[in-house]
Structures are given as C-alpha cells and as structure tokens.
Chains A and B, each alone.
Chain A
Amino acid sequence: MSLSASTIHIAQADHLATITRLKEEGFEMCADLCAVDYSAHPGRVLADGVDGQRFEVVVNLLSLSQRRRIRVRTQVSGDDPTVDSITGVYPGADAMEREAFDLLGVRFAGHPDLSRILLPDEWEGHPLRKDFPVANVPIQFKAPDRARGAGGR
C-alpha cells in the first residue's frame, strides 16, 4: 500500500505547460491545489537542482484510469507570487486557486475571477502566510455602508 504520490518539482514559468502535459498523459482530475509559504522553513529538503523559493504551489493530480497520483510542486518567488492559472486545463481548480489566493496571496494569471473566497472582500492580508500573526491581531470588523443607507442608523 503506497499512499504517497510521485513528486515533480518545476519552476514558476513551467507551471501551466507541465500541468497541461500531465493532463494529456492521462491525469484527468485535479484532486487538490494549495500553496505553502516556506519563509519560516528556509532549509527545506528539495530535489537536486531545484531553487527553493518562498512559495510553493502544490497540485495533486489524479488519474482515474491508471489509478495513480502525481504531485507537482511549483516554486513561486516571494517577490512576484504569480503563476499561470490552470483553470483552462482543469475547471475544478477554480475554487482551489481562489482559496490559495485568498489565504496565501499567490496570484493566478488568467483566472476568470480571482477574488477572495473564504474571507471578506475587504480583508487585509493573507492569513496563511507565515508573517501573518496568530494573536494580537486587531479584529477586522465590518460596518454597514452608510452611504448606501443599508443597515445604517
């Protein structure tokens, strides 16, 4: 019984091309997409020749016909955390990319509607980044929009 998938590491620019190729190789489903902020874990173990960046976008692909999984780890720079959206290849990645954008601030170029999905639209910051504190955070209250008169007194 092997639960783990084989993993491949790719650079930021190759993200979409690699995913597209893997889809053609029979990975019909994008099971999961998430991002990781490695800024608090600089010395992580990576495969040879991989230049570790601050963020990683991790895509878990699933092949229903071959019954196997593959994991794609894309290095994404902290200065310009943008990768190409894979929603054109896997429409199901839509909500997952929005979640990664919402919680980690990774941008997906070409996403049809890259907006916050779990947090309110006016939220400041991306909570799953390691520099986002867990305590002593001012509560981001929302107030009714008085200009529009909705709910105001």
Chain B
Amino acid sequence: MATDRLVARTDEGSQELGDAVLRLPEGPSVDPADFSVERIPGGQSDSVGTSDPSERMIINMGPQHPSTHGVLRLMIELEGETVLRTKPVIGYLHTGMEKTAEELTYVQGGTNVTRMDYLAPLFNELVFAMAAEELLGVEVPPRAQWIRMLMCELNRISSHLLFMATNGMDLGAISMMIYGWREREQVLSFFEKTTGLRMNHNYIRVGGVAADLPDGWEEDVDRLCEILPPRIDEYDTLLTGQPIFRERTEGVGIITEADAVALGATGPILRSTGKAWDLRRDMPYLHYDELDFDVIVGRHGDTFDRYAIRLNEIRESIKLVEQIVDHMPDGDYRVQDKKVTPPPRVRIDESMEALIHHFKLFTEGFKVPEGEVYVAVESPRGELGCYLVSDGSAKPYRMHIRGPSFVNLQTLPPMMKGGLVADAVAIISSIDPVMGEVDR
C-alpha cells in the first residue's frame, strides 16, 4: 500500500473548512431577508438573519448525533440561527451490499437484502423475491401472495410506529417514544412467532414464503387489530392536539409538489404535498387491487403533514390487515416448482433423491434465465425498487436497490432552507431515513 495514502487528507473530523472538503451545493445561498421567521409570536424573530457575512458559519451535525437516526452527517451553513444551505454527507454505514449480492445465490440473497432497510425488512425481501420471480417466470401461489401482503402491512405498521416513537423523541415527547416502541414490540413478537426472528427475517423467499403462518395466527392478528386502534387514538390525543408539538411541526420543512417530484421523493414526503401517489393503488402488485383502502395525502407538505400521514397510514394498514385476514385463501405457501422450492422436510428423511435435491438447491442454488428487470413496491418510506440483472447463472450479475431513503434525503436541503437550526431535528425526523438503506 502506498505510504502517501497514510498522510492523505481525510474528510473525517468535525470542523474542516478547507476548500477540498467543503462542497456545499453550488448556487446562491438564500438571503435571510426573504424569509419571515414568525413562528414564535412575540418572540425574538427580528433578531434572526442579519445580512452581515461575518455572521455566517458552517456547523457540522453528526454523524454521531442522537437525532440523525443513525450516522447521517449534515453540513449546515448558518447565519445566526437561520439555515442557508445544507448538505447531507452519507456513506458511514456503507458495507457494499450490492457487491455482496453478486457473490450470493438467489437462495442466499434474501439474507443480504433484508438488512438494508432494517425497519422494514420484509419489503426488501419482497422486492428482491418479486424481481427474481419475474426473471424466472414463476407464478407464486395465492396463499403465499396474501401472506406476503399480511406480513408487509404489519411491517408497515411497525415501521410507522417506530417513526412515531423517534419523531416524538426528537421533539421532546418522551412518552411517545416509550409508547411507540412498546406497540411495535407487539407486532414484532408476531413476526418472531411466524418467522423466528424479530428483524431481518429472510421470510419472503423466491417462490413464496419460508413457512406457513403459525397455528392460531388469526387470533394473534385479531388481537393486534384490537389493541392498536385505541392506542393510535391515544397518540392522536397526545400529539396531534398538543400545542407545543404543533408549534414545532406546522409550517416547518415545507416542500412543494413540483420540488418533490423533481427530486424523486416518494412515499409520505410526496403525499404530504398533496400528490396522491401510492404504488399499491396506482401500480398495484400482489393483490392490492382487490382491497379497499385510502391513500392519505396532506396539503401543506410540512413536517406536521408527514406525521399525520404516517399516523393515518397505520390506521389504513390495520384496515388492510383485517381485510387480508378475511381473504386469506388456503393452499401452498410456496410454489410447487422443484427448480426453486426445496422438498418438504419429511421427504428428506425417507428419500435419497430429496436429500440430494435439497443439498444441491442450498449449495448451488437455482439458475435464473438471462435478463434484467426493475420491480418496485411501496415501502413505508416510498418506492423501493430492485433492478436485477441475470447472466443465466445462480447468482445475480448485478443487483441494485433503489432505496427510498437514499433519494428522499435529497429533499432535506430545500426543506431546511430558511428554517431555524432547531427545526433541523424535526425535519430530519420527518423524512424518516434509515441509514442502512441509504448507504447499503
């Protein structure tokens, strides 16, 4: 290794303002005089935003900051307390998962992708499995599809509950944090019962799901649908009507529909601007077109709208889960295609062929026909896409995940522009980024 690398400059460190390191977005920074900072009636808003350039400074927030939801780092140019420019710096959690995916077979791939968005792991597995199935031309049995929908909607609930918790925590509502984690745990214990794990399940696999739903799953799901709605109403009372919470979220971090579309933002961020766009409704996959649910939209594109959208999406997901339980068909939970599905466990004990088949499938995997495909699903954070290229072997030639958090983070600079530095925490929280997915 060349020794000059050891003395090379590094972009680590907190306050580096050298030309090579500081790369805030080009273009004019905003003039603080353009913004009326009047959120605090009778407050000291007049003292904000002198146009003296010597008042400007660049501060660094993160990567180790409690409210950056992982290892997000922000460089913020401030004038007084007003944010002029922001630049997110990412990559602190990069582990080369797309490269890893090229070394794993399609059977093993699920364990890799499930670790990307670790708050909504089932969606990652779903999109990867759907992409591989599209290339294979495999039709997944109905029960497997409905199980996938059930698990994904429950996962959406658990992910949004965690958003409620962290959003509350970031804004000082500590009780909300405890409640959110508590309720999420209820959903996770159902996941544990079904998949064996609370997170990173590797449950949705190419060709179906790993196991059928456990005995008594209806009661468990019914219980969740019973206990959650009153709790959601409690959060509603606790936060929505609370003056301090509203003060800190209303009118903060506004983004317009045009900006959100131009920046590729999807999910609650796009819907908060009033654009009703939900892949479950607009480009349906699985059996979402057979279900009745509403797409929740906001009006102002601010932090409060994004909170309200997620809160109400939990309610919609509960509605969906109830319908899915009613619709759940009987049948196989994985496709009966010997090429992709291992033989049942009992057959391995009695048949040498089944044992060999099982062994070959898990050591060599199955070959996927040459081709490329892009599949997208609506994850709790927006459009989660998987671009999969196969060269006809048992491993993906290239797998690219379009992480919604990665793209949504680009809306941070326009949202922060002209706001107060104290609002930064609320705005980051409202984007709900999962750094595992951003950095992959």
Partners in one complex: yes
Binding site for B on A (CB under 8 A): 1, 3-5, 28-32, 34, 36-37, 40-41, 44-45, 58, 60, 62, 64, 67, 69, 71, 90-96, 99, 103, 112-113, 115-122, 124, 127-128, 132, 134, 138, 140-147, 150-151
Check: B374 CB closer than 8 A to any chain A CB: yes
The answer to whether A143 and B410 touch across the interface, beta carbons within 8 angstroms, is no
Check: B103 CB closer than 8 A to any chain A CB: yes
Q: How far is the CA of A28 from the CA of B12 in the complex (A)?
A: 37
CB-CB under 8 A for A151 and B385, given A64-B275, A67-B282, A118-B439:
no
Q: How far is the CA of A116 from the CA of B91 in the complex (A)?
A: 9
Instruction: Chain B residues near A32: list those with CB within 8 A.
Output: 374, 385, 387, 400, 402
The answer to whether A91 and B262 touch across the interface, beta carbons within 8 angstroms, is yes
Check: B373 CB closer than 8 A to any chain A CB: yes
20 A-B contacts (beta carbon < 8 Å): A4-B374, A32-B385, A37-B398, A41-B391, A44-B391, A58-B372, A60-B387, A67-B282, A69-B374, A90-B262, A92-B264, A96-B407, A113-B23, A115-B23, A120-B10, A121-B11, A128-B99, A141-B6, A144-B10, A145-B7
Interface size on B, as a range, is 35 or more
Q: How far is the CA of A28 from the CA of B277 in the complex (A)?
A: 13
Over the window 249-270 of chain B, the binary record of Cβ atoms lying under 8 Å from chain A Cβ atoms (1 yes, 0 no) is 0000000000001111110000
The answer to whether A103 and B98 touch across the interface, beta carbons within 8 angstroms, is yes
Q: How far is the CA of A134 from the CA of B99 in the complex (A)?
A: 8
CB-CB under 8 A for A118 and B400, given A32-B374, A146-B7, A147-B7:
no
A-B contact count (CB 8 A): 143
Instruction: Chain B residues near A99: list those with CB within 8 A.
Output: 406
The answer to whether A3 and B94 touch across the interface, beta carbons within 8 angstroms, is no
Give which listed residue, B25, B98, B262, contacts A112 with CB less than 8 A: B25
- Closest A residue to B21 by beta carbon equals A121
Q: How far is the CA of A22 from the CA of B91 in the complex (A)?
A: 31
The answer to whether A30 and B398 touch across the interface, beta carbons within 8 angstroms, is no
The answer to whether B264 and A134 touch across the interface, beta carbons within 8 angstroms, is no
Q: How far is the CA of A146 from the CA of B134 in the complex (A)?
A: 53
CB-CB under 8 A for A29 and B6, given A117-B90, A119-B94, A120-B91:
no
Shortest C-beta distance, B149 to chain A (Å), equals 13
Instruction: Chain A residues near B265: list those with CB within 8 A.
Output: 92
CB-CB under 8 A for A36 and B407, given A29-B264, A112-B26:
no
- Closest A residue to B12 by beta carbon equals A142
The answer to whether B402 and A92 touch across the interface, beta carbons within 8 angstroms, is no
Check: B383 CB closer than 8 A to any chain A CB: yes
The answer to whether B10 and A142 touch across the interface, beta carbons within 8 angstroms, is yes
The answer to whether A34 and B400 touch across the interface, beta carbons within 8 angstroms, is yes
The answer to whether B407 and A92 touch across the interface, beta carbons within 8 angstroms, is yes
Q: How far is the CA of A105 from the CA of B414 in the complex (A)?
A: 28
The answer to whether B9 and A31 touch across the interface, beta carbons within 8 angstroms, is no
Instruction: Chain B residues near A151: list those with CB within 8 A.
Output: 13
Q: How far is the CA of A113 from the CA of B75 in the complex (A)?
A: 15
Shortest C-beta distance, A117 to chain B (Å), equals 6
Check: B283 CB closer than 8 A to any chain A CB: yes
CB-CB under 8 A for A31 and B25, given A92-B265, A92-B407, A118-B90:
no
- Closest B residue to A124 by beta carbon equals B5
Check: B40 CB closer than 8 A to any chain A CB: no
Give which listed residue, A112, A115, A122, contacts B8 with CB less than 8 A: A122
Q: How far is the CA of A120 from the CA of B374 in the complex (A)?
A: 29
Q: Which of B8, B91, B283, B398 has the most CB of A within 10 A?
A: B398
Residues in B1-54 with C-beta less than 8 Å from chain A: 1, 5-13, 16, 23, 25-26
CB-CB under 8 A for A60 and B374, given A3-B134, A34-B387:
yes
The answer to whether B407 and A113 touch across the interface, beta carbons within 8 angstroms, is no
Over the window 364-408 of chain B, the binary record of Cβ atoms lying under 8 Å from chain A Cβ atoms (1 yes, 0 no) is 000000111111100000010101010100000110101000110
Q: Which of B371, B391, B409, B440 has the most CB of A within 10 A?
A: B391
